[in-house]
Structure 1
Amino acid sequence: MKLYSALFVLSLIWGMSFLFIKVLLSVFDPWQIVFIRCLLGILTIVPLFLLSKQTVNWRTMPIKKLALVGVLNAGLPWGLIAWSETFLDSGYTAILNATTPIWTTMMGVFFFSVRMQWRQWIGVMIGFVGIILLMDIDAPGLAKNQLILGIVLMLIATSCYGYSSQYAKKHLQDTTVWITASTTLLAGFLLSAIMMGFTGGWHMPDHAFDQKVVLSIIGLGVFGFGLAYLLYYYMISAGSAEFATLVTYLVPVSAVIWGSVLLSEKIHPIAFLGLILIFAGVYLTGKKKRINDTLIKQDQSA
């Protein structure tokens, strides 16, 4: 029961992250949001890292590889997601974010010599049909080119997630989670600081300290990163990695509900069909990985 409670709470938190971004966009530009998000993440994780008293060999640290993962796993995709929400409702961005496992598989095939089974190819095609359905939606008050731009921005963001996941798996296996998480946030922080220089983001916006804005900042930075990752790793340790990944299916549903209730967003019925197809694609593309993980566990227990 504790595991399922953790799964439910995590889906609510991560689903609400898209709503927090939408609220913050009324005051901040996308790169300011990334800057704040990374800063709060650093302030959350660095003290925990110091308390863990882990020793770090800075001479052997793969700084360039960690920086690349940081840019592709935090800075760039977070900026693109926030930018996409200037065109799309929070529920739509959450649905598109669910395509991340599909892109992870595709990046493995194109850049990391990963082989796919026929079920996975079918899953990829089904997932793309779901994306095409989303592109054909008539969104009130939004031109077709704006809708497509928002979708493309989200797909680039999820592609970044997919590539960085494969890259980290190949090159950062011996790097601790603490180091990877800390340097990821630092790289995202530096990238957003640079981008703010180009977008004129180095100023304090009006209404930055409104109650709604402050609560959204706390929710996105502290709960969306700190508490959420504690719950995620609890589910992995007390349950399994497969159980933890179930949150992929619940977050879009949670985000759609939050957006509807708190922001009065309306989701087109076709979007739910697109979501179902994306879920089916995610399930099929992840089929090989689950089979391989099961075989590895059986070998280790033999």
Structure 2
Amino acid sequence: MSTATSPLTTATPPRRTPIDWRVRFGVLSLIWGFSFLLIKVGTQSYAPFQVTFGRLFFGTAVLAVAIAVRRERLPRGLRTWGHLTVAAFILNAVPFSLFSYAELTIPSTLAGICNATSPLWGMLLSLVALSEDRPTRRRVGGLGLGFIGVLTVLGAWQGFSGLDVTGTAMALLASLSYAVGWIYVRRALAGNSSSHLSLTGSQLFMATLQLAVVTPLFTDLPTSFPVVPLLAVVALGSLGTGLALLIQYGLVAEVGPTTGQMVTYFVPVIATAAGVAVLNEPLHWNTPVGAVVVLVGAALTQHRSGSSRTARKSEPKPAPQRLSPTPVTADQP
């Protein structure tokens, strides 16, 4: 669910699709926006780790089919697989699980808005970890504005009354995990000769293995399989993770990361509308107002000076990495 890309390069160019990119952009926004609703429905009958495992399993299955159809080669080398294992933990296993646990106690609308803070965390961390990512007044202002928006969403002036602190903290930590993972991938896997598809599929596979180990240790095997929550988990994995990644990759490759990243600003809007309309979740004035402030701040953090943009023109075009309804990072979408 989150929306994010990485600076991985791909050895094979993406194939053109007859479907206009604007249509795919809209579909991707809807898929990722509804992912938070699907998590909420799934956790009504299944444990959070089970929802996360199902999401990863079905998402991996979709990418495995795509890899087979395109006859892509899997990454080679223990070093590469080691980095993919770490990336899978930070970008998939941890944030997916945190969002599932968070939505046990917070509305899906709040989870979707917390997910939108990923660019803010990304910029804050990149200023420390990436020497080439220098701050500008506009970007620093956007960072401050974004966190003011977060406080508005949470109702800080009321002492955060009515919110579950633990669930909200988990959702924000999930967003932070995306940002940490992006920096790790940028440092560890940039320039890898394997294709984006094979790297992403392999990463999801490693995350699935991690959840396959963890889930039986902390959950009991379900005694029943309610249809609606089960379908929600299947859709979350096959559509919200597998298909969404394929669409995102094609979008970024076709129209570039600047346009591709705009999907991030539609996701919390759709997540909020879905939660209110379908799940009847409450909506107070500070939630949409704060969300708008967060998105404006996030947009400002993506701004780069003219010299920075010029310098980056010589870099290889980034390929989408993630991995979820989302994260977004400083480079992306």
1:21 matched residue in structure 2: 39
Query: Aligned partners of 2:201, 2:314: CA distance in 1, in Å?
Result: 33
Query: Aligned partners of 2:307, 2:48: CA distance in 1, in Å?
Result: 39
Query: Aligned partners of 1:3, 1:284: CA distance in 2, in Å?
Result: 24
Give the counterpart of 1:11 among 23, 29, 37: 29
2:13 matched residue in structure 1: none
Give the counterpart of 2:257 among 229, 241, 246: 241
Q: Does 1:162 align with 2:179?
A: yes
Query: Aligned partners of 2:288, 2:244: CA distance in 1, in Å?
Result: 26
Q: Are the equivalent residues in 1 in contact too, given 2:72–2:198 (CA < 8 A)?
A: no
1:204 matched residue in structure 2: 222
Give the counterpart of 1:190 among 197, 209, 221: 209
RMSD (Å) for aligned C-alpha atoms: 2.5
SS in 2 for 1:256: helix
Q: Does 1:41 align with 2:63?
A: no
2:289 matched residue in structure 1: 273
Query: Aligned partners of 2:312, 2:261: CA distance in 1, in Å?
Result: 18
Q: Could you say if the C-alpha distance between residues 76 and 291 of structure 1 is closer, same or farther in structure 2, counting changes exceeding 3 Å?
A: farther
Note the C-alpha offset of 1:274.
Answer: 0.9
Matched residue type, 2:215:
M
Q: Are the equivalent residues in 2 in contact too, given 1:84–1:153 (CA < 8 A)?
A: yes
Q: Could you say if the C-alpha distance between residues 167 and 73 of structure 1 is closer, same or farther in structure 2, counting changes exceeding 3 Å?
A: same
Q: Are the equivalent residues in 1 in contact too, given 2:139–2:303 (CA < 8 A)?
A: yes
Q: TM-score, normalised by structure 1?
A: 0.88
Q: Does 1:255 align with 2:271?
A: yes
Q: Structure 1 residues 253-262 or 219-228, which shifts more?
A: 219-228
Q: Structure 1 residues 32-41 or 4-13, which shifts more?
A: 4-13
SS in 2 for 1:267: coil
Query: Aligned partners of 1:132, 1:20: CA distance in 2, in Å?
Result: 26
Note the C-alpha offset of 1:9.
Answer: 1.6
Q: Does 1:74 align with 2:74?
A: no
Q: Could you say if the C-alpha distance between residues 291 and 205 of structure 1 is closer, same or farther in structure 2, counting changes exceeding 3 Å?
A: farther
Note the C-alpha offset of 1:182.
Answer: 2.1
Q: Does 1:148 align with 2:171?
A: no
Q: Are the equivalent residues in 1 in contact too, given 2:28–2:248 (CA < 8 A)?
A: yes
Q: Are the equivalent residues in 2 in contact too, given 1:129–1:277 (CA < 8 A)?
A: yes
Matched residue type, 1:120:
R
Note the C-alpha offset of 1:290.
Answer: 8.7
2:7 matched residue in structure 1: none
Gaps of 5+ in 1: none
Q: Could you say if the C-alpha distance between residues 127 and 138 of structure 1 is closer, same or farther in structure 2, counting changes exceeding 3 Å?
A: closer
Q: Are the equivalent residues in 1 in contact too, given 2:29–2:263 (CA < 8 A)?
A: yes
Q: Does 1:93 align with 2:108?
A: no
CA deviation digits over 1:142-163, x for unaligned, max 9?
x948522222111111111001
Q: Structure 1 residues 127-136 or 171-180, which shifts more?
A: 171-180
Identity of aligned residues (%): 24
Q: Structure 1 residues 190-199 or 259-268, which shifts more?
A: 190-199
Q: Are the equivalent residues in 2 in contact too, given 1:138–1:144 (CA < 8 A)?
A: no
2:126 matched residue in structure 1: 108
Matched residue type, 1:219:
A
SS in 2 for 1:292: helix
Q: Could you say if the C-alpha distance between residues 287 and 57 of structure 1 is closer, same or farther in structure 2, counting changes exceeding 3 Å?
A: closer
Q: Are the equivalent residues in 2 in contact too, given 1:91–1:256 (CA < 8 A)?
A: yes
Query: Aligned partners of 1:290, 1:66: CA distance in 2, in Å?
Result: 33
Matched residue type, 1:43:
A
SS in 2 for 1:288: coil
1:229 matched residue in structure 2: 245
Note the C-alpha offset of 1:130.
Answer: 1.1
